[in-house]
A = this chain, B = another copy of it.
Amino acid sequence: MFSTARMTETVSGRAWIRAMLATLAALARAKAGSGLMRREMADEIGSACATVEVDAATIGLEAVSTATPVVPLLEVLRRRLGADAGAELHRGATSQDILDTAMMLVSRDAIEVLIDMIDSVQQHCAVLAREHRETVMAGRTLVQQAVPITFGLKAARWLHGLVEARESLVTYRANRLAVQLGGAAGTLAALAPHGPVVLRAMAAELGLREPVLPWHTARARVTELGAALGIAAGAAGKIAVDVILLSQDEIGEVSEGGFGRGRSSAMPHKRNPVSSVQAMACVRRGQALVQVLMGAMAQEHERAAGAWQAEWETLCDLFILTDAAARHVAAALDGLQVFPANMRANIQRSQGLLMSESAVAVLSGYLGTAVAQRTVEAAAERARAHATTLHDELLVDSEVAGRVPPDAVEHALDPARSLGAAPVFVDRALAAYSAQQAMSKSGPTGQTD
């Protein structure tokens, strides 16, 4: 219900089959390069891998008896190959080599897809950050009005959360996508003495890193990716939770879009933040999957009995749910209605109490810090009690009247003059975003692909 077609395809059975075929072809070429296989045979295998049609369902179904889809895949391929090529096809490797390497290839593509989706969310955030760089609103802590911020700063924080999450994915892609080739138990015995040479050649063929060791039971590589995805989902979730809270009827500072979206089946008046709500559902579901990968690290001996086999679909689901979370957030921000007037009204409606900190600061210059603090606390309490405003109460306060110029009080209570570094931080976030985008285009990722 939540997936995007592009990511779904990228981590589909079809994609895995393509990746496994690419792995087998690269293995053949790497062996040929090391003199372990005739070049013609590698070509025969490469050609079969490039053209064979394999049905995902069949592979999946037959795989039940061996717990991996590699055995049935090899059988399909062997029907297209001469007996010698068929026998050589998989020699030196083990099923896990093919599956783990395919997982890296699929992950490379899926990271690409996810980064595109993140980019699209970032664009919306950047636009909002720029446009609303000085749009005053209440900053809220523990869901209560605290001091003024700007909506642009909020959007800048959303943006920077994504910049961090994207950075982790880019770094992962550059450094951690590695070929897996170890043979039956990680010694490459069947390729001896050329094992390490084939390993290196195969990595080069596929544009993946050469690992220090085969990593069949060293799964930090997989868990790190899972964590990076969970964190990306979390960055999307931060945006969604803010949009949801700002969409509340009583706050009404943003709305996900025009009439017709978020319609209730029973209540015609409602404009539910449905995209953000769906994003949160994806975030919750996706992040829980990280635990599966984390818990799967203590793998037995040279191949795990259950923990490894739990990784593939978990990782695919995690890609799908993280991508979906980002997509829903993109939908929430695309056409997001922002209501600056409500933002200002909400500040007034709270008796202007969020200017307390600022009032203390300004009054301290006239009354000393301790008296200023006490005076503002008392005025705030009166404003609450009488439903007046901090402004009104301070102006008539006996400590203030005569000792603090009215202008100074006005100044101290103007949210727009109390934004501190909000615009500066907006600019910093936008600069970091631009730098990341520029880097991405010129790019270090090219090296590793």
The residue among A95, A212, A260, A289 with the most chain B CB atoms within 10 A of its own CB is A212
* CB contact list, A154-210 vs B, under 8 A: 156-157, 160-161, 163-165, 168, 183-193, 195-196
A83 to B297, Cβ gap below 8 A?
Answer: no
Question: Chain A: interface secondary structure?
Answer: helix
- Beyond known contacts A157-B213, A192-B419, A196-B425: 15 more, CB 8 A cutoff: A65-B263, A67-B272, A141-B185, A143-B244, A184-B267, A184-B357, A191-B420, A218-B238, A220-B231, A224-B231, A231-B297, A248-B250, A250-B349, A277-B306, A278-B306
A66 contacts B274, C-beta separation under 8 Å: yes
What residues of B have a CB within 8 angstroms of the CB of A429 in the complex?
Answer: 212-213
Cα A346 to Cα B248 in complex, Å, equals 11
Contact mask for chain A residues 294-317; partner B; CB cutoff 8 A; 1 contact, 0 none: 111111111111110110111000
Q: Is A10 an interface residue (CB 8 A)?
A: no
Among B70, B212, B284, B421, point to the contact of A310 (Cβ < 8 A).
B284
Q: Nearest B residue to A425 by beta-carbon distance?
A: B213
Q: In the bound complex, do residue B298 and residue A360 qualify as a contact, i.e. CB atoms below 8 Å apart? A: no
* Contact A306 B288, beta carbon cutoff 8 Å: no
Q: Are B245 and A143 in contact (CB under 8 A)?
A: yes
* One of A47-55, A119-127, A376-384 contacting the partner: A376-384
Contacts of A283 in B (CB 8 A): 298, 306
Check if A241 sits within 8 Å of B64, measured CB to CB: no
Q: How far apart sit A384 and B255, CA to CA, in the bound complex (Å)?
A: 12
Q: Flag the segment in A26-34, A86-94, A402-410, A441-449 that touches B.
A: A86-94
Name A279's closest neighbour in chain B (CB-CB).
Answer: B306
**A165, B299: Cβ atoms under 8 Å?**
no
Name the residue on B nearest A273 (C-beta).
Answer: B142
Kindly state the separation between the CA atoms of A188 and B294 in the bound complex, as whole angstroms: 38
